[in-house]
Amino acid sequence: MEQPADLRAALAFVIGRIEEQAMLSGEPLNEEERFLLNNLPTVSIATEISIGDPEVPLHFVPRDRMYERLCALAKAALRNDVQLNPAALDWDFAFAVAKFRQHPLSWLLQWAGVKQRRPWWDRWLLIVAALVFIAASVPLMLLVIDQPWWFWRWAVVVAGYTGILLFMYFASRRIEQRQLRRNIERCRSASHFVSTDHADC
């Protein structure tokens, strides 16, 4: 399946900058690192190692030095670009596109220190969501408090809480997708990245 144009542009930018930074460091990417960069894992491939002592159930996950190096190179490239042009939005664009498309590049960029720009009202929205949850919970609690145990009452409470949580989860996902889409458009209009139609988003 062909990747969308905005994701191709984001991948090309990040991969290009990481390769440039590796060259500047005096240790270019080897074939394994290049393959990993072009085929980022969608799940953690590190296996857990147990010490085998049942009284001390510690598990260790071995370090992935290749992935760590790619993150370090991306972090160094980001720092250099910010020093040269603090107003540049190339990294923000790449992160927003990768997160919107649910591409594993977003994890690498998060480790490298790229942060999602959030609107000023984002924290207030969290407070409002908490107040809505509390307000919706009160009637459910009044239904069962100081009442004898009735199956239908508890079924209503469980269904109500489940419904509230599902609604808040899907609403927050929708809001985040809308914010990412706006970030992509803002970065695209201020940078050299290709423009795609809105249906592609």
User: Residue 8 half-sphere exposure, CB side, CA atoms within 13 Å?
Assistant: 9
* Residues in the chain, total: 201
Count other C-beta atoms under 10 Å from residue 53's C-beta: 8
d(CA 4, CA 39): 16
Average of pLDDT values for 168-189?
76
Give me the pLDDT at residue 31, please. Answer: 93
| Alpha helices, DSSP H, located in 46-191 | 65-84, 90-100, 105-112, 122-144, 151-190
Q: Give the phi and the psi of residue 87 in degrees, each rounded to 5.
A: -85, -5
Least confident span in 22-26, 49-53, 121-125, 195-199? 195-199
Average of pLDDT values for 176-186?
77
- Backbone φ/ψ region at 46: left (φ over 0), alpha (ψ -120 to 50), beta: beta
CB 196 within 8 A of CB 6: yes
Count other C-beta atoms under 10 Å from residue 14's C-beta: 26
Average of pLDDT values for 160-171?
78
d(CA 117, CA 92): 8
pLDDT, tens digit, for every residue of 34-61?
A: 999 888 887 655 444 445 555 555 555 5
Instruction: Enumerate the domain spans of the chain.
Output: 5-200
CB 47 within 8 A of CB 56: no
Give me the pLDDT at residue 199, please. Answer: 38
What mean pLDDT, rounded, does the chain reach? 76
Q: Give the phi and the psi of residue 50 in degrees, each rounded to 5.
A: -95, 145
Structure tokens at 57: 């159930």
Task: For residue 135, give the amino acid letter.
Answer: A
Give me the pLDDT at residue 201, please. Answer: 45
pLDDT band at 195 (very low <50, low <70, confident <90, very high): very low
Give me the pLDDT at residue 168, please. Answer: 77
pLDDT band at 182 (very low <50, low <70, confident <90, very high): confident
